[in-house]
Amino acid sequence: MHEARMAAASPLSILPITAVILTHNEGMHIARAIASLDFVERVVVVDSGSSDNTIDLARAAGADIYHHPFINHADQFQWALENTGIVSEWTLRLDADEIIEADLAARLRAELPQLPKHISGINFKRKHVFMGRWVRHGGRFPLVLLRLWRTGQGRIEARWMDEHMLVESGETITIDGGFADVNLNDSLFFTDKHNRYATREALDVLLAKYGLAEVDEAMKQGQAAHDASTKRRIKERIYNRLPFGLGPLLYFLWRFIFQLGFLDGREGRIYHVLQGFWYRFLVDVRKLEFERAMQGAVSTDDRLARLSAASGYSIEILSGSAVRSSRGPIALQGLPE
């Protein structure tokens, strides 16, 4: 299908990039996302059982379609990297509700062919648009994320939430340009999605707390990874050790007052309350529930079994202590994003 994309575009405007998009009922967004990728030579869509018109729209837009059962975002994306025949020089990660704006596409067309070989990854500066408003404050812009890397150099962290792309070697750079998260769904979708996120983040916290997950040393590679690693250390060493409910309150006040979140207008205030307080409080609630479920467990296997039963996700240990999900019946109850 990517041959049709190449034939329809000017050869000078196409870059040797394969873009990977994960989907599940993204009919509202997928055509827009693919349209914003008019500079790439191939678009890969990995779908996890959409029941709407996502597949038809993606195919009509020229994407190559793959199907794979969803466990978590990290597992799904790593599967895409390893099983969709990516041979282009570069690989790009895009969520279905994200878009690459024209100025960033133009910069990539101009600068990517000139990059030296030691540059392995490129960070984008993401902006979040909520209820039609760009959330500029509260520490939400820019979010610097590794989204483009030399094929074979990138992989995704094996985490349940807050997974980052990592490059195995070389340097990363950050370029300016419009890169936006613009989800068109309503507040019910937002809260339902973050309800699932809270379960997965609580799992990550407890897996780390009880020594059931490895620390990925590659998180120290590159500026975006370094920034993410620093934030994660603060979260693990300070935030996650605060008394129940205190962390969400302090975090919200920091974002809303000291990082000027109150300047983001009515829509921004809704976003900061939901994402900066309600969601974080819900993670605390999930952690409390899961720790109660694990009371009395003394072995790793017992803890994992109890976490699996309480969360609805099946968890197993691979390679000694690296926690990944299994494809058992419980895991498949986890809903895609």
Q: How far is CA 172 from CA 90, 115, 254, in A?
A: 13, 11, 30
The total number of structural domains that make up the chain: 2
Residue 119 belongs to a domain? no
Residue 306 forms part of a structural domain: yes
Distance CA(235)–CA(213), nearest Å, equals 16
Same domain, 326 and 204: yes
d(CA 98, CA 7): 25
201 and 318 in a common domain: yes
User: Could you give the CA distance from residue 202 to residue 49 in angstroms, rounded to a whole number?
Assistant: 26
- 201 and 86 belong to one structural domain: no
Q: Which of 97, 125, 142 is the last residue of a domain?
A: 97
229 and 93 in one domain? no
Distance between CA atoms of residues 157 and 165, nearest Å: 6
User: Is the residue at 140 inside a domain?
Assistant: no
**Are 91 and 202 found together in one domain?**
no
What is the C-alpha separation between 314 and 208, in angstroms, rounded? 17
pTM for this structure?
A: 0.86
Whether 177 is covered by a domain: the verdict is no
Pairing assessment for the beta strands 133-135 and 90-93 based on DSSP bridges: unpaired
Shared domain for 317 and 218, answered yes or no, is yes
**Tens-place pLDDT, residues 105-126:** 999 999 999 999 999 999 999 9
47 found inside a domain: yes
Question: Among the three residues 97, 114, 143, which one is the final residue of a domain in this structure?
Answer: 97
Answer yes or no: is 156 within a domain: no
Residue finishing a domain among 97, 115, 136: 97
* Spatial distance between the Cα atoms of 287 and 248, rounded to a whole number of angstroms: 13
Give the residue numbers spanning the domain of 230: 187-333
pLDDT in tens, the chain (337 residues): 556 555 555 556 899 999 999 999 999 999 999 999 999 999 999 999 999 999 999 999 999 999 999 988 999 999 999 999 999 999 999 999 999 999 999 999 999 999 999 999 999 999 999 999 999 999 999 999 999 999 999 999 888 888 899 998 999 999 999 999 999 999 999 999 999 999 999 999 999 888 876 555 554 455 455 556 677 778 878 888 899 999 999 999 999 999 999 999 999 999 999 999 999 999 999 999 999 999 999 888 899 999 999 999 888 643 333 344 443 333 323 333 3
Q: Do both 223 and 86 map to the same domain?
A: no
Partnered with residue 234 across adjacent β-strands are none
The token pair at 163 is: 């997974």
Whole-angstrom Cα distance, residue 142 to residue 163? 18
Q: What is the CATH number of the domain that holds 61?
A: 3.90.550.10
What amino acid is encoded at 255 in this protein?
A: R
Beta bridge partners of residue 17, listed in sequence order? 90
Q: Is 111 inside a domain boundary?
A: no
